[in-house]
Structure formats: C-alpha cells, structure tokens
Structure 1
Amino acid sequence: MSTVPFDLSLSVRNRPITVEDYRKRARRALPTMVWAFVDGGAEDEITLRANRSAFDRWRLRSRVLTGHAGAGLSTKVGGVDLSLPVFLSPTGMTGLTHWTGERGAARAAERAGTRAVISTASSYTVEEIAEATAEDHFFQLYPWTSATTGEPLSKKFIGRARQAGYRALFVTVDVPVAGNRERERKYGMGIPPRMTPLRVLDGARRARWSYHFLTKQRISSRMLVDERGAAAAVRSAKAQESLMRPDLRWDDLARIRDWWQGPLYIKGILDPDDAEAAMKLGADGVLVSNHGGRQLDGARATLEALPAVVDRIAGRIPVYLDGGVRRGSDVVKALALGATAVGVGRPYLYGLAARGEDGVAHVLEIFREEIERTLTLMGVASVAELDRTHVYQAPPT
C-alpha cells in the first residue's frame, strides 16, 4: 500500500494512478516552453518514440499455480541495496519543473527505498542535496573542461561529490555536442531563451509554477553558476555548451577512473564494442542509454540495444538501462533481457511537476505496485529469477 499522501481536494476520479496520468497533470502544470524541455527530444523525435515502442515488441511469459504470494524486488546499484529495481536517472535544471528540483526528488527516492543520480547540471549543488537528505546518493558527471583555462572541471566536481558523501559516479559520454532539440527551440527554450508576450502569458496562466519561478528561482545549473534567477540560468546554459568535449577519448575516461576510487559507471552506451571498452577501462558497470532520445535522432532504442550489450558483457559487470520506461511491465521486460536495474527520468519529472516531492514518491510506488503485480501474474517470485525465458518477441503486425 502506498504511503504517499494525496491532496484531499482531488476527487477519486482525478487522482493519478499511472505514470501517464502524471504526464497529463504535468502538461497542465507547466508552461509550453518548459514542457518542451521536459518532454521533447531531438529533431524528428524518432528515437524518443522508439524508446517507448521497443517495449511493445516483447511479450511476457505467464505460468500459473506457482504458489508465489509476493514478489522480491530488491537489487543493488552502486554498492547500495535498493528495495526496488528502479532509480532516478539524472536530469538537468530540474528546478524548472518544480522548485524543489533534485533535492525533493532525492528525498522522494529515499522514501521509496531507492536512490537518485544527481546531474552535474542540477538546480541544487551536490552539497545542498547532501545536507537535505539522509542517505548517500549518486553523482552524474559530464566530463567537461574549461575552454578558456583548460581546467579539468571533472576533477573539481568529483572532489566535491566525494566530499559530500556520494557513493557512485555515473559518467555521461553521449553528449560531445548538444542534440538538436527542435521542439525546445520552437517554443523558446534555446540559448538564450526567447520570451514573447504570449509565452509570458502562458507562464502566468500557471499561477503556482510562476509564483515559485519568481520567488525560488531554482532554474540555473548551480554547480556552474552558484546564483539564482533567469540571468544565471542563461549563463549556466551557455557555459554548458562551451564546456562540451567533442574531442573526448577513452584516455580521458581513464583519468576519471583514477580520480574516482568508488563505483564508476559509464552512461550512454549503445554499442557492445563500447561496453567492452568501458569494462576494460575499469568501469564497474554500464548504463545503456540514448539520453532519452535527446541527442542522436535515429539512434537505437535502448531496449533494442540492451541484449547485445548484455551478451558482450557476459555477466562480468552489471548493465543498467534507461529510456522509455513508463510501466512496471517495462521494468520487468528490461530485467528479463539482462538489466540489473533501470533508471527513470521523465516519469519522475511528471510526478515532480504535478505534486512536488510527493508526486515523485507516488510515481515510484506506482512502479513498485506494477512490478509486483506483473511478477505475480507471471508466476515469478523475484526479479532475481528473471531471464530471457520470461519474454517472447511479439509477432510482426
């Protein structure tokens, strides 16, 4: 049973019971330009859609009369025991969605018995999030270097995360340049953002969002620009573009491995050769990800890429997945195909936009309930039992 409190003003009919319900509520809560940032992808959004449709191409094996009254959902990520095989993937400038941002999301993850991966582009610093939470979370690193001074910002950020108590490092490697996110640009979320009277009016119509936007001003990447407000957000967005590394090579990742002595995961892997290279580098795991369809449009869906990566790794290090996960049954399919756990990004942003920290906690409880129900209906006692014998490819239509 969920322990997440509901707003008593909501009728039973209007209470969200699925991630899609939260998505609809988030769309109503956010200005169109912010919604484009949260829900949009790159160019024609082929990969964005493919991440979802890939799950439809798999069916679940169902066995009856197995005598399993419950389902074991625990797993381990970053050396931490999680009560369900779902964690929060990193999302940047989350304060645009709700002023509590990554701080509220991390607290919600703790309530659900899991962890959050905090982005380098977070709306709160790693220190602020550590002070506001009871558990040690994980840090996501963009391997940036200052274009003007040549300073390895990666080393600086790693030091701060280590000092603040973060347990594992996820290094994102699929952003050598920013993806061409045309929906964002169309609705004004370019660099700098383009405001028009209609866009200002659209924001004003979302009174709660506008109030927090003006009073809390948690809209910049605080690890880069430790200031609040719209001007700081523009400066941090411009800084991110200038710090990106199209010349990054595996040797650069080897240095990061030397700087970080804890569990290290490479995020943004789609090709088995890259998974092999990451393992040889000393990575403790890989995260199969295409940045939620926000980078290379036309790249493989993550679930499509997962089996080949799992086969190449052959159990030597764990493989995780994010991208397109919206249902507990999606989680089960990914685990059956070899993932140890999955990350969710947009689903928790939907919950955050709709109901703040409580919304994120409830989204995670929805995943928990759906995973438990799916496993019970399949006749499977635990996520640890899942393998490829539990899924079938759907016949072509």
Structure 2
Amino acid sequence: MAFRYAWRDFSALQNIEDYRKRARRILPDMIWTYVESGAGDHLTRLDNEAAFTRWKLRQRCLTGQAAPSLGTIMCGVDVSLPVALAPTGLAGASHWSGDVAAARAAEAAGTRLALSTASCYSIEEVAQATKSNHWFQLYPFADRPVASWLMRRASDAGYGALIVTVDVPVPGNREGERRAGIGMPTVLTPARILDIARRPRWMANALLHRRNVPVPYVEAERLRFDGAAGARQAWRAMQQDLGWDDLRWMRDQWRGRFYIKGILDADDAEKAIDLVGADGIVVSNHGGRQLDRAMASIDALPAISDRIGGRAEIYLDGGVRRAADIVTALCLGATGVFLGRPYLYGLAVAGEKGVGEIIELLRSDLHRTLILMGCRSVRDLDRSWILKTGEEVPQLRHRG
C-alpha cells in the first residue's frame, strides 16, 4: 500500500459544515463570534437554515439527464452557477487576503462577489486585483455626499451593479459580540489576548497585513474615516429614517443595475420595483444579525415571488448550505442565491483556495442533485419540482 504525506487533510472537508468546524478552530474567539453570531436569541439565524427542510424535492426517474445546465444570469452577468458571494463586512478578519481573495475565487469559478461597504480592502484595490465587473453593496448614509462619493468610486472602478442594504438603520442586538468584546473600539483583555496568541498564524498575518478594519471610507470628501475610528463614524452616519425617497435618489445617482437588499415583505418588494425602479431585490434578514424573530429568508420568498415574479429579479440570501437549498430557492422563484458565512469559512481555512473550494462543493452537489431529480437545467426549476411538508427536520445539523 502506498502512502502520501499531506500537511492538510482535504478528505475531511466534504461539506460546508466541515469547513465551519475547521474555521472555528482556526479563528480566535472574538473573530469567530463576529462571523457566526446573530441577534437576540439567534432564532432567525438558526431558522434561516432549518426552514429549508420544510420543503421536499420532487424526484423524477429515467429522464436521461446526465449533463444538467447550471448556468444562469445574475445581476445582468452570465454566471456558471446560480450562486454569488454576498457582501460580508470585515472579511479580512477571517483571513488577511479577505475581499480580494473572495473576488478572485468567485470570478475563477465563473461568478461574482458583492463587495461590502465595510470591506477590509478598498473599492479600487478589489477592482485592480480582478478582471471581472463585480458588484458593490452600499450602506445608506445620512450624509448624501458621502453616499454619492462611494457610488461614484464604485462606478469609476467598473462595478456593474449596486446593492443597497436597507435593513440596518441601527445595528441589531448582537449580545454575543458585546460579550466577546467586539465593538468600536474592540476591548482586549488578558484572556482574549491569550486566545489570540493560541492562533499564532492568524495573529502574525493580522499584525503583518492589518486588514481587520473597514477601509473604503478612507479619504472621504466630508468624513475623514480612518480604520476603526472611521467605522465608528460610519455607524453614527447611518440614516435611521431612511425612506423610499432616499432610495429613489440613489437610483437616480447610479446609472447601472440597482438592487435593494434586506426585503422580507411582499409590499416592500412591490414598492422597490414600482416606486424606486429597482432591477431586483435580495430577500434577506441579514443572516439573522438584525431583527431576531424576523422571518427566515426562504419563508419570505414565496409571497414575494407571487407578487413581483416576472417583473424583477429576486435573489435569496440566508441559510444556504447545500445544493438542495439552492434548488429550493430557485423552485420558489429566486433567480439565484447569495452565500455569506459559508465562503467566510472557506476563507478562514485556506484563503482564496478555500473560497473556491466552497463554490466547487456546491457546484458538484448541484450537478448531482439535478441529475437525481431528473431536471435538465436550473432554469427549468419551478414550484412543480417542490413539495411543502410544514415540518422541519429535527436536529437539523450538529452545531458543536
């Protein structure tokens, strides 16, 4: 019997949950809490995943489907599978290569990244490090010149779509983050410093590359944001009384494709199209990090699809961990899905390579799932391929 030595056992990483567990061991407690925690009692965060199991897939045999088509169009771009990377703030805290690595992995896989306003690399750095026209996510600031300045920078750098997040007028009640000392500024105690020291590779990269704070705000025209101090200013500058008129103003400012993220109600989805003229919406509860006990994203999708399906693009964000989750979302009217935490797990484990591995796991699983269902293309998926059970699978996944 022949043996081969490997410093990392990739055979142990068979699904996203495996990457989650590996990332948990790699990241300091403070960073892990930021990545994984939700608001309040985490009911919405957990339900985002559990809600998918209340649906069952239809299986058709002897259909002769051996090479299903996975490609589709997301935000006006041809993608190789109906999956893109969601905007996630402070990705550089999971791995120093952060947003640049994620964007490169996405385009290598034939898809895109939506760059967060709270990224650890600037709008221009990500654009210069990639070849594709990725997308930019904007937090709406009360100071319109700052919002306009960020949109102009994204447009000048070649970003093809703007995604405005509307569900963060104030940060959610993230008790776990406060308990872990995460804040502005971050509170370090001897115990927390010791925990970081137990991850010497992470600590060395954090000190060397210093990609742990949001940087797109640097050299703003009216707010001189700089690192953590800039992040504090940014949260204070968020527009708590954001209204539809503000979204119309942003739509007028941005000449490309325009999307609104954070919609859970069908009435709001309709207003996004009729009042704002948005090209589409992202059905999302911010990963369960904002309003606890809000609907799971997949539970909100059917009513929104019934209301605006065919009139605008609909994307789902939240809880996707398996190809069956992607299929469920597409059957219920989504054009595609966004991944958040899963790609951060891959990023923490192996940087750009790890993000690519997460995408390829889902691609392989999606290919297999469509063959087993007897479906020839992701574009053929509709409600005829799905059944509602009303009961979630008990003990959904071990979360140890």
TM-score, structure 2 normalization: 0.93
1:69-218 equivalence runs, <5 A: 69-146=66-143, 151-218=144-211
Deviation at 1:234, TM superposition (A): 2.5
Counterpart selection for 1:306 from 298, 301, 306: 301
CA RMSD of aligned residues (A): 1.5
Return structure 1 stretches of 4+ with deviation > 4 angstroms.
none
Taking the aligned partners of 2:136 and 2:11, their CA distance within structure 1 comes to 38
Structure 1 position 232, deviation (Å): 5.0
What code does the residue aligned with 1:330 have?
A: D
- The answer (yes or no) to whether the contact 2:82–2:337 under 8 Å persists in 1 is yes
2:84 match: secondary structure: strand
CA distance in 2, matches of 1:350, 1:211: 19
> Aligned partners of 1:396, 1:215: CA distance in 2, in Å?
49
| 1:349 is the counterpart of 2:347 | no
Does 1:338 find its partner at 2:336? no
**Alpha-carbon separation, structure 2, partners of 1:261 and 1:8:** 50
Q: Does 1:364 align with 2:359?
A: yes
Name the CA distance, whole Å, in 1 between partners of 2:9 and 2:241. Answer: 54
In 2, Cα distance between equivalents of 1:113 and 1:12: 23
Cα deviation code 1:322-369 (max 9, x no counterpart)? 100011110011001110000000000000001000000000000101
| Sequence identity percentage | 53
User: Unaligned 5+ residue runs, structure 1?
Assistant: 1-6
Quote the offset at 1:394 in angstroms: 1.9
Instruction: Confirm or deny that 1:247 pairs with 2:257.
Output: no
Which amino acid counterpart does residue 219 of structure 1 have in structure 2? Answer: N
Q: Write the distance in 2 (CA, Å) between the matches of 1:171 and 1:185.
A: 26
In 2 relative to 1, CA 395–224 (structure 1 residues): closer, same or farther, beyond 3 Å? closer
Deviation at 1:8, TM superposition (A): 3.6
Q: Which secondary structure state, in structure 2, belongs to the residue aligned with residue 392 of structure 1?
A: strand
- Please give the alpha-carbon distance, in whole angstroms, between the structure 2 residues aligned to 1:236 and 1:19: 33
Please state how far the C-alpha of 1:226 moved relative to its aligned partner: 6.3
* Other structure's SS at 2:156 match: helix
* 1:29 counterpart = 2:22: no
For structure 1, which segment, 22-31 or 184-193, has the greater mean C-alpha deviation from structure 2 after superposition?
184-193
Q: Distance in 2 between matches of 1:389 and 1:265?
A: 28
- Structure 2 gap segments, 5+ residues each: 393-400
Q: Name the CA distance, whole Å, in 2 between partners of 1:181 and 1:91.
A: 16
Could you tell me how far apart the structure 2 residues matched to 1:395 and 1:155 are?
A: 45
The question of whether the paired residues in 2 share the 8 Å contact of 1:220 and 1:232 is answered with no
- 8 Å CA contact 1:123, 1:221 repeated in 2: yes
The alpha carbon displacement at 1:396 in A equals: 3.8
Q: 1:380 to 1:242 in 2, by over 3 A?
A: same
Deviation at 1:152, TM superposition (A): 2.7
Which one-letter code corresponds to 2:239 in the other structure? R
State the Cα distance separating 1:243 from its structure 2 match: 1.2
Q: Which amino acid aligns with 2:346?
A: G
Q: In the alignment, does 2:72 pair up with 1:68?
A: no
Please list the CA deviations of residues 186-206 of structure 1 after superposition, one character each: whole Å capped at 9, or x if unmatched.
111122211100100101111
* Deviations 1:159-218, CA, capped at 9 Å, x for gaps: 000000000010100001111111111111122211100100101111111001100000
Report the alpha carbon displacement of residue 277 of structure 1 after superposing the two structures with TM.
0.4
State whether residues 49 and 320 of structure 2, in contact with CA within 8 Å, keep that contact through their aligned partners in structure 1: yes
2:395 maps to none
SS at match of 1:159: helix
- SS across alignment from 2:105: helix
What pairs up with 1:266-305 in 2 under 5 angstroms? 266-280=260-274, 281-305=276-300
Match of 1:48 in 2: 45
CA distance in 1 between partners of 2:230 and 2:35 (Å)? 18
Deviation, structure 1 residue 111: 1.0
Cα distance in structure 1, aligned partners of 2:92 and 2:11: 29
Q: How far did residue 395 of structure 1 move?
A: 5.2
**Structure 2 Cα separation of the partners of residues 35 and 329 of structure 1:** 26
Question: Which segment is superposed worse, 232-241 or 91-100?
Answer: 232-241
Question: 2:343 touches 2:358 (CA, 8 Å); kept in 1?
Answer: yes
Contact 1:45 1:293 in 2 (8 A): yes
